[in-house]
Amino acid sequence: MIDDPQPPAAEPDRPRSARERLSELAAQAALATEGVVGLYPSPVDVARPGATGVLCAERADGRYELRVQLAVKPVALRELGDRVRTAVAAAAAGDGLGDRLGPVDVYIRDIVPPGEVPA
């Protein structure tokens, strides 16, 4: 379990850290995955400006563990989780951060019935 919230957005005059880049890539990759309706910020996230529903923590080995929390359509959840993990890994590799990516945990926080908007 990750209990370390992701950092605030990078300031314009400083480069983004690997942690910030991985968080952003994970959010984009998850949202682009068919079956995902949106990101679902945790109670810790909602108090932060720009909360995304992606938590990222550095591990002792220097890699980053991600927790991606989602609102999804009623689909096969295990397969959806696998597709999200694959998409995140591909995005990280494409940005030169594949070696910094650790485990990606996918949490389904809400299943949104057809025609409804996620809360």
Structural domain span for residue 59: 18-111
Structural domain total, the chain: 1
Helical residues (DSSP H) of the chain, grouped into ranges: 18-31, 77-94
Residue 117 domain-assigned?
Answer: no
Percentage above 90 pLDDT, the chain: 65
Residue 13 domain-assigned?
Answer: no
Residue 38 domain-assigned?
Answer: yes
pLDDT in tens, 33-90: 999 999 988 766 555 555 578 988 999 999 999 999 999 999 999 999 999 999 999 9
Residue 5 domain-assigned?
Answer: no
- For position 64, which CATH number holds? 3.30.70.1350
> How many other C-beta atoms lie within 10 A of the C-beta of residue 22?
28
State the pLDDT confidence band at 113, using cuts at 50, 70 and 90: confident
pTM of the predicted protein model: 0.81
